[in-house]
Structure 1
Amino acid sequence: MIAYRAMLDVPRELVAYVARLLADERRARGTRRGSRALTCWRQALFALVWFRKREDIAVLGAGFGISRATAYRYHDEAVSVLAAQAPQLPEALQRVQSEGWTFVILDGKVVDTDRCAETKISKKGKVIDAWYAGKTHDFGGNVQAVMRPDGLPIWVSEVEPGSAHDLTVARQHALGALYAAAARGLPTLADPGYDGAGIGVHTPLKQPADGRQLDVDTRTYNMLLRSLRCLGERGLALLTQGWRALQHVTASPSRIGDLAKAALVLTHFEHRYLSR
């Protein structure tokens, strides 16, 4: 086996931040000093390498001198402490409004996973793969995200099976808080997949089924809506491209929500958006 040095493109301050969270977790658990295979700093570095590069956890652990079981345990611990720092949607919306933004953007993402054998009964009464997403024609988990107009993601939801429609997942996890924000003057913009979401969630108007053309006012409304929404859609790219761990998940798909929340916290740190 040949060892080599590598560079990680994250600031030193981010490693220190994750290390502090891990140190707090160890104190809460009553972990004895010197009883762990890695220091908090080394465990934080191990976790950030995985988030950024999505390397095999066992192989990455071997590079840090820890066993396969320890590597998975340290990985799960780091994900959990980071995910716990993710903001709740009501407080995230309140902060956005206090900063002077006039709307937010709602969008969904199916995070790619390995095939999962779990099944469910569809609305048509057929047995289908619960984690198969017709949206991507692949297996994955559906997470919803809310972004500021400039594209910074401010919140991500828990994961639901990929077979769930974006609107269904949004109803479960987001629409209640978005309605309350709209009543305070902070509406939501969304793509046509959220048509019927309700008052305060604005979507483009669809072409009439009978083939008639939309009138000029409606076409202008749709154009303005899309032009305002397009910048916000980079928010999911910030999460999935900046942190490659979300490009394909080989762990249980039920962990996707925690992974997305952890990536959100890391993104907030990089953009100096963490609440102090």
Structure 2
Amino acid sequence: MILDGKLFDTDRLAETTVSVKGDTIDAWHSGKHRDFGANIQAVMRPDGLPIWTSDAMPGHLHDLTCAQRLDVTGALYWAASELRLSTLADSGYEGAGQGIHAPCKQPADGRRLAVDNRTYNAVLRSMRCLGERGFAILVGRWRTLRHSTASPRQVGDIVRAALHLTHFEYRHLPESC
């Protein structure tokens, strides 16, 4: 499985929160993207088809924080231990825990990564690249996901509706009783 997060662009919502530094910030503003939006987490199949999307989380939150608050990491830990089903993720999930594989980061002192770590990163990227296709399927097919004027809190419902329509389109529906 592949775990990924995306900031869905929205209009501003006047909601403030306190940052880790103690400053008052806009809850739905992402400093990394320099834009307002909702952070959505998704789990994709190895071929890139998204199979689950989360509720909308404020844009200022990091991917790992969102996954932990939504208890996605707990479900993935269980899948890794009981089903031997590991999860591939990007560097935003570094330190997520057992069963969630994230790339090794470059050393802070400027040295190159060791050969085994560079190889691990290359193999991880080559397997995870199809999972990046999951959000591309949703955003490319459903124009409303490119920019929403609805409340950022509603983006999770909109993405989930697009996910179900995508499952219908790809004929990936559960068998009827």
Gaps in structure 2 of 5+ consecutive residues: none
C-alpha displacement of 1:253:
1.1
C-alpha RMSD over aligned residues? 0.8
Question: 1:230 is matched with which residue?
Answer: 129
Question: 1:80 is matched with which residue?
Answer: none
Q: 1:181 aligned to 2:79?
A: yes
Question: 1:208 is matched with which residue?
Answer: 107
Give the number of the structure whose residues are more often strand, by fraction: 2
SS of the residue corresponding to residue 75 of structure 2 reads helix
Q: Which amino acid aligns with 1:245?
A: T
TM-score with structure 1 length normalisation? 0.62
SS of the residue corresponding to residue 146 of structure 1 reads strand
CA–CA distance in structure 2, aligned partners of residues 111 and 190 of structure 1:
19
CA displacement, residues 78-118 of structure 1 (integer Å, 9 cap, x when unaligned): xxxxxxxxxxxxxxxxxxxxxxxxxx111101110111111
CA displacement, residues 136-158 of structure 1 (integer Å, 9 cap, x when unaligned): 11000000001111110000001
SS of the residue corresponding to residue 128 of structure 1 reads strand
C-alpha displacement of 1:265:
0.3
TM-score with structure 2 length normalisation? 0.95
CA–CA distance in structure 1, aligned partners of residues 164 and 32 of structure 2:
27
Question: 1:256 is matched with which residue?
Answer: 155
Give the number of the structure whose residues are more often helix, by fraction: 1
C-alpha displacement of 1:212:
2.1
Match of 1:131 among 28, 43, 50: 28
Match of 1:221 among 120, 124, 136: 120
CA displacement, residues 199-258 of structure 1 (integer Å, 9 cap, x when unaligned): 110011111112222221111111000000011101001111111111111111111111
Higher gyration radius (CA) = 1
Question: 2:60 is matched with which residue?
Answer: 163
SS of the residue corresponding to residue 232 of structure 1 reads coil
CA displacement, residues 175-211 of structure 1 (integer Å, 9 cap, x when unaligned): 1111111112100100111101111100111111122
Higher relative contact order (CA 8 A, sep 6+): 2
SS of the residue corresponding to residue 8 of structure 2 reads strand
CA–CA distance in structure 1, aligned partners of residues 32 and 4 of structure 2:
13
C-alpha displacement of 1:135:
2.6
CA–CA distance in structure 1, aligned partners of residues 10 and 22 of structure 2:
25
C-alpha displacement of 1:134:
1.6
Q: Which amino acid aligns with 2:52?
A: W
Residue identity (%):
64
After TM superposition, the runs of 4+ consecutive aligned structure 1 residues lying more than 6 A away are none
CA–CA distance in structure 1, aligned partners of residues 38 and 12 of structure 2:
11
